[in-house]
A and B are shown apart, each in its own frame.
Chain A
């Protein structure tokens, strides 16, 4: 977890604590005003009338939303609420309409008897969706599609109907219009209805506050065993208020079976000791899903140390729990990455000498020598090991990235043919690329690796064929994109790879990015593919998400920050032909690993260079001092005992300004690299390297500007 993520968790926790404190102060009567978010005016709680008026003003603003008719009718059929838009359609003023009979005033004569009967059914909740003509003051008719909600008072008695409607006269011809309208209406009017309904029920502010904070209050009378819930509690359990438990035993039955004993025991102990009760546990909703909740409670009115009355607050803490889980996962990945990075570093030194010396040995065998084939196998194994090491380094984010401005569409298009061959004929490859895609700043080779790994995984998920879609798009990430995950908001470019394959279980999903986790048969997968994707994307400042449904398919989405428009790519260095990669210049090699130093020396000597070497920066300086102005190039490891390659170069170039440098490194060293991303202008050769690569790079640097 990054520092920013940690801070966000801390802030979230603090805000939760502040909300709890505010609720507590509200309940204990220590608050005398609430600031209205709309007008920024404090509303004194002592003047309940004011609060009510404010609530009414606020609701009125919602009521006056354009394009939606809002209408409330009492049980006696009289209009109790009508909004501005309704008035504009009906041609009456609100004052004229309030208190009048809805059916007799606003409906055509021919349907009045029918609608009076229907109004009765409406209050019984019979019709939630309805359409009928209305009569305007001027005698015209309009067709209105309605959505109806039954209104209740605090005791639960029906008091009338609240209807939201839209004028569908013009669009009546199309059969589907009503469905669409009602669907749109449902979305648009949900908020309006909530506020209007709240207004009509005179719901108080505390309930508003509690609901917003996802908190509920409860009381338990120890003498009678009676449990009472505030109206905001039931939704936290996925229940209707009439399903609220009425005893502690009934409540405990709502707790997740694995947590129930713990909660009961803890509550029992608190009751016996007379101390506060505070626990976090899961509750199970009627749909079977578990939700995290915290409960805090205190006894009041105890006599002779015996609890008589509990008052408690429950809070939905799902969001916090999700963050905690993410934090733990991030820590685990970090630890595994550290370990992998350390191992890979040592491996790189070993592989450099294995591959290098194998190269010398093989050249001593004639073309028909059987030992040549044996040696070839050694080299191949070494190269495979080097590939694995690279992937481990990528996962541990210790790999050196050389980012440039990159067009992902071009990358996908360029790889299309290769990917088609890779996935075979039974899978259809469908690119879906955004025309106006922004550039990203990333290492092209690494992103090719990301795309290839995702495509191979998608292919393997579709053994009997299917469709593989590669999609690119510009997107904006904000915190609401994934409320349970901490992200850096801003403009991103998305690259997604989707298949129509077997999908995966939640268990698989949770371990997906761990190195060496694989669901493939032994020998078929290394378990490093997705770990590599994860590492590269993270190191490039992006995110990777996975969506999967068993039997339907899986989709991986990679989000990379859009490139800063002002930063232009740096041109690549001169490319040199292998055969010409020789020279007569004098080179100083500094490397603390003996095998690697001797190998480097031998390769360069065979390429005709004059070579000096030193096992550490101190000796290197002495060699340099003893041979003034003979060296053209310094080839140095980056991290060495006592100093670093860049420090050594800075010292030597001060004495001889035309000296050039080639750094050799096994992994990201902060000495020359900021955040794992190296300046493309710096010349760097990554271990393990082949003899040819070393010769080529040396020549390039010597011939460069």
Chain B
């Protein structure tokens, strides 16, 4: 998982095999706090520097849910590498999350 794969033509142009993630949370609700911690750990341990993790707090920025059709929090969306994938929940099941991100 942590090993570098060759660049695919569909991936980011600037940097090979970038992982672009966005995590939607609701303030410091328990599952949201857990999801933030889990997402950061997964990024650091498995993708280190090539992972962009953006955290969106819907209580502060409610309208952003609209753009990505988020209906519950926490929701993690993987935009790159394609295909786009959504993972709902507090991301405690690391193996499940890594499976969903497997193409990275």
A42 and B26 contacting across the interface, CB-CB below 8 Å: yes
B71 and A34 contacting across the interface, CB-CB below 8 Å: yes
The docked-state distance in angstroms from the alpha carbon of A28 to that of B93 is: 13
- Mark A6-47 against chain B: 1 for CB-CB distance below 8 A, else 0: 000000000000100110011011111111010111101010
Residues of A within 8 A of B87 (CB): 21
Q: Counting chain B CB atoms within 10 Å of each CB, which of A30, A40, A44 scores highest?
A: A30
The docked-state distance in angstroms from the alpha carbon of A31 to that of B26 is: 10
Given contacts A35-B72, A40-B66, contact A18 B31 (CB under 8 A): no
Given contacts A25-B88, A25-B89, contact A32 B74 (CB under 8 A): yes
Given contacts A28-B89, A42-B26, contact A34 B66 (CB under 8 A): no
The docked-state distance in angstroms from the alpha carbon of A22 to that of B86 is: 10
A42 and B65 contacting across the interface, CB-CB below 8 Å: yes
A32 and B32 contacting across the interface, CB-CB below 8 Å: yes
A22 and B32 contacting across the interface, CB-CB below 8 Å: no
B90 and A30 contacting across the interface, CB-CB below 8 Å: yes
- Mark B59-75 against chain A: 1 for CB-CB distance below 8 A, else 0: 10011011000111110
Q: B11 near A: Cβ within 8 Å? A: no
The docked-state distance in angstroms from the alpha carbon of A172 to that of B6 is: 78
The docked-state distance in angstroms from the alpha carbon of A31 to that of B30 is: 9
A33 and B63 contacting across the interface, CB-CB below 8 Å: no
A35 and B71 contacting across the interface, CB-CB below 8 Å: yes
Given contacts A18-B86, A28-B89, contact A33 B66 (CB under 8 A): no
Q: B37 near A: Cβ within 8 Å? A: no
Q: B53 near A: Cβ within 8 Å? A: no
B26 and A40 contacting across the interface, CB-CB below 8 Å: no
The docked-state distance in angstroms from the alpha carbon of A26 to that of B74 is: 11
Q: B43 near A: Cβ within 8 Å? A: no
Residues of B within 8 A of A29 (CB): 31
Q: Kindly state the interface size class of chain B when it binds its partner.
A: 20 to 34
Closest CB in chain A relative to B70 CB, distance in Å: 6
Given contacts A40-B63, A42-B26, contact A31 B31 (CB under 8 A): yes
Residues of A within 8 A of B32 (CB): 32-33
B86 and A34 contacting across the interface, CB-CB below 8 Å: no
Q: Kindly state the interface size class of chain A when it binds its partner.
A: 20 to 34
By beta carbon, the residue of chain B nearest A34 is B72
By beta carbon, the residue of chain A nearest B86 is A18
Residues of A within 8 A of B88 (CB): 18, 21-22, 25, 30-31
A22 and B71 contacting across the interface, CB-CB below 8 Å: yes
Closest CB in chain B relative to A419 CB, distance in Å: 51
Residues of A within 8 A of B70 (CB): 35
Residues of A within 8 A of B90 (CB): 30
A40 and B62 contacting across the interface, CB-CB below 8 Å: yes
The docked-state distance in angstroms from the alpha carbon of A33 to that of B72 is: 6
Q: B29 near A: Cβ within 8 Å? A: yes
The docked-state distance in angstroms from the alpha carbon of A18 to that of B66 is: 17
Q: B58 near A: Cβ within 8 Å? A: yes
Residues of A within 8 A of B86 (CB): 18, 21
A25 and B63 contacting across the interface, CB-CB below 8 Å: no
- Mark B65-104 against chain A: 1 for CB-CB distance below 8 A, else 0: 1100011111000000000001111101000000000000
Q: Counting chain A CB atoms within 10 Å of each CB, which of B30, B70, B72, B89 scores highest?
A: B72
Closest CB in chain B relative to A20 CB, distance in Å: 10
Residues of B within 8 A of A35 (CB): 58, 62, 65, 70-73
In the complex, which of the residues A18, A33, A46 contacts B58, with contact meaning CB atoms closer than 8 Å? A33
Among residues 26 to 45 in chain B, which have CB atoms less than 8 Å away from a CB atom of chain A?
A: 26-27, 29-32
Closest CB in chain A relative to B76 CB, distance in Å: 11
Closest CB in chain A relative to B80 CB, distance in Å: 17
Closest CB in chain B relative to A6 CB, distance in Å: 14
The docked-state distance in angstroms from the alpha carbon of A18 to that of B87 is: 8
The docked-state distance in angstroms from the alpha carbon of A245 to that of B28 is: 43
Residues of A within 8 A of B30 (CB): 32, 46
A42 and B89 contacting across the interface, CB-CB below 8 Å: no
Name B's A-contacting residues (CB within 8 A). Answer: 26-27, 29-32, 58-59, 62-63, 65-66, 70-74, 86-90, 92
Task: Enumerate 29 A-B pairs (CB-CB under 8 Å) in ascending A order.
Answer: A18-B88, A22-B72, A22-B88, A25-B89, A26-B72, A28-B89, A30-B88, A30-B92, A31-B31, A31-B74, A32-B30, A32-B32, A32-B74, A33-B26, A33-B73, A34-B71, A34-B72, A35-B58, A35-B70, A35-B72, A35-B73, A40-B63, A41-B58, A41-B59, A42-B26, A42-B59, A42-B65, A44-B29, A46-B29
Name A's B-contacting residues (CB within 8 A). Answer: 18, 21-22, 25-26, 28-35, 37, 39-42, 44, 46
List 9 extra interface pairs beyond A32-B32, A42-B59, CB under 8 A.
A21-B88, A22-B71, A26-B72, A30-B89, A33-B26, A33-B32, A33-B58, A42-B58, A42-B62
